[in-house]
Amino acid sequence: DWTPEHILEVMTREVRERVGDERVLLAISGGVDSSTLGLLLNRAIGERLTAVFVDHGLLRAGEAEEVERALRGVGVNLTVVDAAERFLGALTGVADPEEKRKIIGREFIEVFNGVVRDKQAEVGHIRFLAQGTLYPDVIESSGGHGAANIKSHHNVGGLPEDLRFELLEPFRTLFKDEVRELATLLGLPPHLAQRHPFPGPGLAIRCLGPVTRERLAVLRRVDDIFVSALREFGLYDETWQALAVLTPLRSVGVMGDARTYTNTVALRAVTSVDGMTADWARLPHDFLATVSSRIVNSVPEVNRVVYDITSKPPGTIEWE
C-alpha cells in the first residue's frame, strides 16, 4: 500500500540504485518541491548531492533566508548565490510575460552553469541533474491537450545542449499533496511543507509591466500583509495559493484632505487540488476588509485593493 512512508522508502532505494557512486546536482527554488527533493537526495546520497540555490531577487519577504536555514539545518550541502542584480538588470524595461520567463530562464541557466563549473572543479564530475517536476508539470508542458503550453514552465524542458546531465525526476508521478507528506516525513518545517506553490519566475510575473526594485518592494509588502493575515485567521491551509498582483493601473483616491493617484493591487486566492483547474476562494468579507485596510494604511504606494473572482479556466492562477 502506498503510504507516504512506503513512497519514501521506494524512492530512496530507486535514487540510490540509479545514482550509484555518481554525483547529483539540484537547483533549489525555495519552493516545497525542490526543498523536499533536497531532503530526499540528502537522505539517499548525502554528500554526493550538490544543491544550489540561485536567489534571483524575485522571492517574497524573508523567503530566501527561511529556505537556507531549513535546508542547512538538516544538513543539506547548500550553495547560495545572490544574483538579484543580474536578474533585475536583465529584466529592465521588459513587460511581456513570456519574455520575462525567457529572460529569467536564460539568466538562471547561465548563473547555474557558472556555479556548476566551479563545483565540478571542486568535487569532480556531476552526472545527474535532479528536478522537482511533478505530475501536473509533466502534463501541462507535454503539449498533449488543449491547455498545454499556455505558459512556458521553465523547470521542464528547454535546457541547452551544454547542460549535459542526465535528468533525475523522482517526483514525476506525484501530486503536490503527496510531496507535502514526504516533506513532513523528511523533517521540513511544517511552515515550509505546507507552503503554497510559488512560480519559478517569482514576483516578476506578479509585477505587471516592467519589473523594478521599487515595484517589487511594494509588491513584497502587500503580499506579506495578505499571506500573514491568511495564516493569522487560519485560512492559509484552506487555500491552494494566495497571491498579490501589482497592476500597472493607477486610480484616484482620497487620503485625509488630499487626492491620491497611486497603484491598484489585486489579491487572488484560489482553491484547487493540483493547480490545473482552480476556483476563487470564498474568503470571508470581514477578512478581506481587514486585509484591504491594512494594505492601504501601511503601504502608501497603494490606494486601491481588488479581489479576483475568476476561476481557472478561463483565468489562470497567475496574472501573467
Interface region with ligand XMP, contact rule CB under 6 A, candidates 48-56, 195-203, 219-227, 244-252: 195-203
Minimum distance from residue 81 beta carbon to ligand XMP (Å): 18
Minimum distance from residue 201 beta carbon to ligand XMP (Å): 5
Nearer of residues 44 and 134 to ligand XMP, judged by Cβ: 134
Is 228 annotated as ligand-binding?
no
Which residues contact residue 56 at a Cβ distance below 8 angstroms, ignoring those fewer than 6 apart?
Answer: 83, 84, 87, 104, 107, 108, 202
Per CB under 6 A, 239 contacts ligand XMP? no
Nearest to 241 by CA among 274, 218, 266: 274
Per CB under 6 A, 312 contacts ligand XMP? yes
* Binding residues among 272-301 for ligand XMP as defined by CB under 6 A: 275
Per CB under 6 A, 132 contacts ligand XMP? no
Per CB under 6 A, 197 contacts ligand XMP? yes
Nearer of residues 155 and 263 to ligand XMP, judged by Cβ: 155
**Applying CB under 6 A, which of residues 200, 227, 262, 296 lies at the interface with ligand XMP?**
200
Q: Show the cell assigned to 153.
A: 514552465
Nearest to 92 by CA among 71, 107, 77, 72: 107
**Applying CB under 6 A, which of residues 23, 60, 101, 268 lies at the interface with ligand XMP?**
101
**Applying CB under 6 A, which of residues 155, 260, 263, 264 lies at the interface with ligand XMP?**
155
Is 81 annotated as ligand-binding?
no
Helix or strand holding residue 39 (H, E): helix 32-45
Report H helices in 212-252: 213-232
Task: Decide: 141 and 149 in contact? Cβ < 8 Å.
Answer: yes
Per CB under 6 A, 318 contacts ligand XMP? yes
Is 137 annotated as ligand-binding?
no
Q: Show the cell assigned to 233.
A: 485567521
Minimum distance from residue 114 beta carbon to ligand XMP (Å): 21
Task: Using CA atoms of 166, 172, 177, 181 in order, give the dihedral in degrees to the nearest 10.
Answer: -50
The β-bridge relationship of strands 166-168 and 302-307 is unpaired
For residue 263, what are the β-bridge partners?
Answer: 250, 302
CA distance 180 to 33: 8
Q: Which residues are annotated as a binding site for ATP?
A: 29-35
Q: Which residues are annotated as a binding site?
A: 29-35
List interacting residues with ligand XMP (CB under 6 A): 101, 151, 153-155, 197, 199-201, 241, 275, 312, 316-318
